[in-house]
Amino acid sequence: MSTPKPPATCPFASHSLAVFPAANASQADSPPPALAPLAPLAIDGSAPAPPVEHGSLLQFSDDPIACMRRLHRKHGDLAILQEGGQKLAFVFSPELNRQVLADSDTFQSQFFAVRGSRNSAQRRVTSGLLSQNGTEHRDTRRLLKDVFAKKALPGYHGIICRLTDELTTRWNRESHVDLNGEMVQFMLRMTSALLFGLDDPEFAEKLGRLIDRWTHRNHEVGMGALVSAPQFARGYELLLQQAEELESSIREMFARHRSGNSDGLNILHLLMQATESGGSMTDDQLTGHATLLFAAAHLTTAHTFSWTLFLLAQHPEVLARLTHELQTHVAGDVPTLDELEQLKYLDAVIRESMRILPASSYSQRVTAGATSLGPLQLNPGTPVIFSQFITHHRADLYEQPDRFIPERWEHIAPSPYAYLPFGAGPRMCIGAPLAVVEIRTALTIMLKRFHFQIKPSCTVDGRVISTMLGPTTPIPASLLPACQLPRTVPVNGSIHSLVELPPAALPATQRRAA
């Protein structure tokens, strides 16, 4: 059986970089601490039963968060879901997160179950940094580290400001928007421009659509390999066709770039420069990197924008404090780099949004050989799942964990393995600093010009698709001037199973029952 890894969810992945100025803890180089001993498994049955649950693996693919919540409640920090000879291991604590994420040789990355034949487009588009391990991964990361270094981030400031200005200028002509749809389209343009230097909305939309379809198909076919379910595996031929179409578009983008039809500083330009100045990256390797970087960066950041704007609209007291900070520290409509560094409450709002509704809800590693995890012995090739969502909602780590409380960040400093929206350890998201710069800058420009009033009684559903937790319905909102605060309104939908909104946000039927 081939062991699947869901498609990439972290914007870029592999380099240990501090995301916020206060996050200075070194993750990649420090050894994991000794774990608190778990109860050994006694042959005579006197010890606690092993945390193994027998049942269909489809319950995880059907609703990952519900499945992980139930396993965590029943078994604690470590659980096994087993169907026949197939097993999924789950870790839910900072200590076990660290054991798995700090040891990238034992617990390896395997982003794709279906790689295709050696000469297939599927093999090439899945051959980026996120799929590599060992020496290959370390060598590639060394080549790429300057591309994503903090010293390169100021070069992207102008692009981020320009595209956000264009978005908000268009909003001046509108009265209502779908926050979810707007952020998805916005990040298509932003990702295309930042990664590839292409400011072509039509091409960006085409490429984003191809990558999203291909990513979801990979997850479906990969899940079929995991659970041996024919209904998932039937899409294999379609997956190969989509990979060929996607590779063709990526190669077209390369051609545009090399012909000089690109705009300003961009990641692809820096990658090509690194290759030309002594690197050993081929076009096939560039194809894999470009595909996975776009796939990882687009929807995760779009979801973070959508969730953050929704949470602010439903928590007007938080928005009021943030508005005061923006008015105090940002002189114009567009922030300077120095002004952004002064926005401490904005940082807290972003941290809290990514804690309570992390765009990457879970990810996984695969055991390279036989190994132990707590009291359990795992065979080679066992998937080990860690969950940002479950860890971030632990009451022993975060007081009132289901509530949106940015002020908590004024007095807490969780470890990198207790707060991990971008992963942790030596494979922590290499693009995390760039993603945070995008979010900081664009949110400042948006909120200096507009606030958003959520449509009363609309349905806001959130669901995990390909490991990403995002809205699956529109988020309809009216545009307000920045001097006017929205009010909390009742909303329907599964959002209430993910986060505890203020009482005024409960549906009318629930408020009457309460």
Rounded to the nearest integer, the mean pLDDT of the chain is 85
Q: What is the pLDDT of residue 39?
A: 38
pTM of the model: 0.87
Instruction: Show the DSSP H helices in 267-409 as ranges.
Output: 267-276, 283-314, 316-329, 337-341, 344-356, 388-392
Give the confidence band of 276 by pLDDT, cuts at 50, 70, 90: low
Residues facing residue 373 across a β-bridge: 376
Q: What is the pLDDT of residue 344?
A: 98
Asked if residue 263 belongs to a domain, the reply is yes
What domain count does the chain have? 1
Q: First-to-last CA distance in the chain? A: 50
Q: What is the pLDDT of residue 161?
A: 96
Q: What is the DSSP string of 362-381?
A: -EEEEESSSEEETTEEE-TT
Q: Which long-range contacts (CB under 8 A, 24 or more apart) does 456-461 make?
A: 456/489, 456/490, 456/491, 457/489, 457/490, 457/491, 457/492, 457/507, 457/508, 458/491, 458/492, 458/493, 459/491, 459/492, 459/493, 460/310, 460/491, 460/492, 460/493, 460/494, 460/495, 461/493, 461/494, 461/495
Q: Which CATH number fits the domain that encloses residue 448?
A: 1.10.630.10
Q: What is the pLDDT of residue 232?
A: 59
Give 237: exposed, middle or buried? Use CB within 10 Å, 0-12, 13-18, 19+: exposed
Asked if residue 46 belongs to a domain, the reply is no
The percentage of residues in the chain with a pLDDT greater than 70, rounded to a whole number, is 84
Whether 391 has a pLDDT exceeding 70, the answer reads yes
* Out of 125-139, 167-181, 329-343, 470-484, least confident range: 125-139
Whether 462 has a pLDDT exceeding 90, the answer reads yes
Asked if residue 35 belongs to a domain, the reply is no
Q: What is the pLDDT of residue 223?
A: 66
User: Span 346-371, mean pLDDT?
Assistant: 96
Q: What angle do CA 243, 14, 338 make, to 5 degrees?
A: 110
Asked if residue 338 belongs to a domain, the reply is yes
Most confident option among 58-62, 90-94, 225-229, 363-367: 90-94
Q: What is the pLDDT of residue 512?
A: 59
Give the confidence band of 262 by pLDDT, cuts at 50, 70, 90: low
User: Span 46-70, mean pLDDT?
Assistant: 87
Residues facing residue 421 across a β-bridge: 423
Its domain, for residue 239, covers: 52-513
User: Span 175-189, mean pLDDT?
Assistant: 95
Task: Give the separation between CA 126 and CA 124, rounded to whole angstroms.
Answer: 5
Asked if residue 269 belongs to a domain, the reply is yes
Asked if residue 82 belongs to a domain, the reply is yes
Three-class secondary structure of residue 178 per DSSP: strand
The percentage of residues in the chain with a pLDDT greater than 90, rounded to a whole number, is 56
Q: What is the pLDDT of residue 34?
A: 37
Asked if residue 132 belongs to a domain, the reply is yes
Asked if residue 179 belongs to a domain, the reply is yes
Whether 12 has a pLDDT exceeding 70, the answer reads no
